[in-house]
Chain A
Amino acid sequence: MSWVGRRLPRLEDPALLTGQGRFVADRAEGALAMAFVRSPLAAGTLTEIEVPPIEAPDSFVFTAADLAGVGAIEAILNRPDYKRVPQPILARNRVVFAGQPVAIALARSRAAAEDLAEQVFADIEPDEPILTFADALADGARAVHPEAPGNVLVEGQLRGEGVDAAFEGAAAIVDVELRSERQSAMPLEARGGVAAFDAGSGRVTLYASVQMPHMLRTGLADVLGIPESDLRVVAPDVGGGFGQKMSLFPEYVALVWAARHLKRNVAWIEDRRENFLGASHARDQRFRAKAAFDSDGRILALDADLLSNVGAFSCYPVTCGVEPLMAFAELPGPYRIAHYAVRSRGVTTNTAMMAPYRGVSRPMLTLTMEQLMDRAARQLGLDPLDIRRRNLICEFPHTSPTGLVHDAGSYVEAMDAAARVADLEDFRQRQTRARAAGRYLGVGVSVFSERSGYGTPAFAARMMEIVPGYETVDCEMDPSGRVTLAIGASPHGQGLKTALAQLAADRLGVTPEDVRVVSGDTDATPYGWGTFASRSMVIAGGASQMASDKVADKLRIAAAQVLECAPDDIELGDGLAKVQGANRTMRIAEIARALHHKSHLFADLTAGLKEQAFYDPAGTFSNACHIAEVEVEPATGGVRVDRFIVVEDAGRLINPLIADGQIAGGVAQGIANALYEELVYDEHGTLLTTSLADYAVPTAFEIPPIDIHHMETISPATVTKAKGLGEGGTIGAPAAVIGAINDALTPFAVAINTMPATPDRVWQALRDARDKAA
């Protein structure tokens, strides 16, 4: 029986359940504590930093002047339209967002470091902050960075032939202007690192709560001007990332610098307030789009103007192109668009840096396409599912207007399956009855693709100076028959270790408990790209399977020699090498021991059982349909999600328990995007939402049960037949929820165009409609 496909409880869990997990803060014992002095202002000239006289032992304050020789973080995109804006480790001469690190304070406890930090004063001559698209794009707007007059850091433009003609001949033209306010990935464990200095070697081991440990090592070494071999980066247990822990942040550079400078162990454990102020934010996009339809509801052309606020800097390594260029390339989503025009800009402002957050642009582009479909359906008098059915891609492979190749999927089928579960006919009856009783129910449909598991070709196409994508896996069976997979991916809650153990167990004939997966340690794993972009199951999984197969092949050859048969006759399973069709077996552990300790007996084989495999796929598209049912209360503007259905097609599921967990958690973040979470700056550029009391992460009360179903389109695009699904929940849910609200509000002729749809926004939209009608 196969381990793949089973709902196996995770191997990671016992430690985490008993308080024996090891997160970064759990390694801070004995280290000096570091705190940051952060700019209180959004923009200005830094004239002086007043540092108090330091009396206490083991207390230090350092500013940019002390970090001479340390470079800046520079994310590079080799596009002519891209403007480089170097990010200093500590602010020098000027500040560009409230929360930017200005100085570091170190002391024996975090409390004492904070005491010291609050005595450091940054004298800043304030500039008028540039905060919004309107501020940044106004004629003659002050440049946030002198390197980037006009405040556009990256711009993609495309105008396919025939777009204008298609609009001229259209039966219906629908346009939308949609916004997502600014949000935080808000991992429950904030960022943090412990830099341990080894006096003997001069090496620093940085334990850090990150998603890309090898990339962090490279980035740190480059900025500090040291060889990578002087650094070891370890991502221990990581309390969630969701993209926020991908980038190289100046805080980590300062931390490693301090450990090397003081020759001491130094810990920076970020608190929640800092995490809101200084870590990356996401979303803050405004999408305008119009689409031309023929009278049957077929989309003829799409024309979009997309703005993404990228904040004060360009995130390393993926750059500030990540949101605008993803929007540029993927807006058409799962729909056949013959003629496509788009202008997508990344706009810099005096706000915290934007970086990937689960979903990256796709929550907004899915919302955009689904609202276009819903509104076109209404305008043309079509059923919302019918109009989608007429436009969804159904022949594979499908090449998008920007050249993306969709492998086999089930776009129409997944939608139809979700609609059956939702029983839309019954819903419409309930909706009618409820309206008669003064209650407003709505249903929203969201069909989307999730580009996942893409290797270097996809990243190279973005013109990134650093091209991520491949993975290398070492698979070794030790003399006791236990297996170690050393991977370059860096899971942080996904359960990847269990899933990979299931994969390897099937190939090697052992149990998942026999497979230990080592990740996140640059001294112990092959150079790799960490965990992000729904890639690890596909790419690290593929490499793990291929490396395991190599070990299995060697086991078969050795077993065949002992059992006197052909290697192809050997079947590995239940810890045994069995000769097919005969009653001869040998324990796999025995073969492993023999290959290590009696290798001289195996004339044609090298000693040991260690193999490496490399995988760099082009990528694959998962697809899904979400259907949300909501109730809107006009009196309060409150929205409650009553029901949420997901039909997901991510190919072959390695561990459905884990897959469902990823989907449910993603949907919760998508609902949060649609209804709850919003980072708010005031007109001075001061962040007003610096606590979890103000930044409304939903609780168990707000998130409904998620009803998850699967389809399984097997695509040849990946060696495991699995597709990525880590982001889909977050991508699709906002469009379903907003669509449902707008459906509920049909009697009022109101459309919600801004996320999150807070009670105030819903109430205001209703009031405005009433005022207009009056």
Chain B
Amino acid sequence: MSDRHDITLRVNGATHHVNVEPRYSLADTLRDACGLTGTHLGCEHGVCGACTVLIDGRATRSCLVFAVQVEGSEIETVEGLAEPDGTLHPLQQAFWEHHGLQCGFCTPGFLMLALGALRENPDMDDEELRDLIASNLCRCTGYQNILTAVRAAADMMRAKAQPAPNP
């Protein structure tokens, strides 16, 4: 029963060959086999959202997906968010400036949640954002600073995506 599978995962553009039991979640596999411990486990039943990563661009609870299921998928985690030179992503920058984190345990999940959703819809209004941010739990901040940060980042990302208007 404890048969193991050799699988290949694509994470943040890099390839990882790992040997896993089918029962190993994507979250555990990222953390234990790929050494990417930025993805956190807060509940392991899909409620808290600390483990949210992108699978083929979709924000997903990585505690509710087995690693064997995502061979061939593109996975993105918090470790891939900043530029290679260390420049923070607008979401990271905004969380920093607006004090959108305290203990930081939930933060990677919120960042990846917002990233996936803003890619799908860069023009979310405040109500849609609040709905979205209600997907994950934070125990420290009371959420308002997270909302403010995601709003600011969304505006920054939209401005970046649009070519500067001609003077």
- Please give the residue numbers on chain A whose beta carbons come within 8 Å of chain B beta carbons, in ascending order: 9-10, 12-23, 25-26, 29, 111, 186-190, 237-240, 242, 271-272, 492-495, 657-658, 660-661, 664-669, 691-693, 697, 699-703, 705-706, 729
Contact A240 B103 (CB under 8 A): yes
| B residues 30-55 in Cβ contact with A at 8 Å | 31-32, 35-45, 47-48, 50
Contact A697 B139 (CB under 8 A): yes
Residues of B within 8 A of A691 (CB): 43, 45, 47
Looking at chain A's contact residues, is the secondary structure mostly helix, strand, loop, or mixed? loop
Contact B105 A658 (CB under 8 A): no
Contact B81 A16 (CB under 8 A): no
Contact A19 B39 (CB under 8 A): yes
Distance in Å: Cβ of A641 to nearest Cβ of chain B: 11
Distance in Å: Cβ of A58 to nearest Cβ of chain B: 14
Residues of A within 8 A of B47 (CB): 691-693
> Is B56 close to A, CB under 8 A?
no
Binds A, one of B89-97, B117-125, B155-163: B89-97
Contact B146 A238 (CB under 8 A): no
Residue in A10, A12, A25, A701 whose CB lies within 8 Å of B37: A25
Contact B45 A239 (CB under 8 A): no
Query: How many A-B pairs fall under 8 Å by CB?
Result: 169
CA distance A667 to B43 in the complex (A): 23
Q: CB-nearest residue of chain A relative to B129?
A: A700
CA distance A669 to B142 in the complex (A): 8
CA distance A22 to B137 in the complex (A): 20
Q: CB-nearest residue of chain A relative to B108?
A: A19
CA distance A703 to B77 in the complex (A): 28
CA distance A277 to B117 in the complex (A): 35
Q: CB-nearest residue of chain A relative to B105?
A: A239
Residue in B41, B135, B139 whose CB lies within 8 Å of A187: B139
CA distance A191 to B107 in the complex (A): 18
Contact B104 A12 (CB under 8 A): yes
Residues of A within 8 A of B108 (CB): 19
Distance in Å: Cβ of A351 to nearest Cβ of chain B: 22
Residue in B24, B40, B44, B97 whose CB lies within 8 Å of A9: B97
Q: CB-nearest residue of chain A relative to B131?
A: A701
> Is B130 close to A, CB under 8 A?
yes
Contact A667 B134 (CB under 8 A): no
> Is B79 close to A, CB under 8 A?
yes
Residues of B within 8 A of A240 (CB): 102-103, 105, 139-140
Beyond A17-B104, A19-B78: 19 further Cβ-contacts under 8 Å?
A17-B95, A17-B107, A17-B111, A18-B79, A21-B38, A23-B40, A25-B37, A29-B32, A188-B50, A190-B42, A237-B105, A239-B105, A240-B105, A691-B45, A692-B47, A700-B143, A701-B131, A703-B142, A706-B142
CA distance A628 to B28 in the complex (A): 42
Q: CB-nearest residue of chain A relative to B42?
A: A188
CA distance A10 to B102 in the complex (A): 9
28 intermolecular pairs with C-beta atoms under 8 Å apart: A14-B88, A17-B104, A17-B107, A18-B38, A19-B39, A19-B108, A21-B104, A29-B32, A187-B103, A187-B105, A188-B103, A188-B139, A188-B140, A189-B40, A239-B42, A240-B140, A658-B99, A660-B99, A665-B141, A668-B143, A692-B43, A693-B45, A697-B139, A699-B134, A700-B130, A703-B142, A703-B143, A705-B144
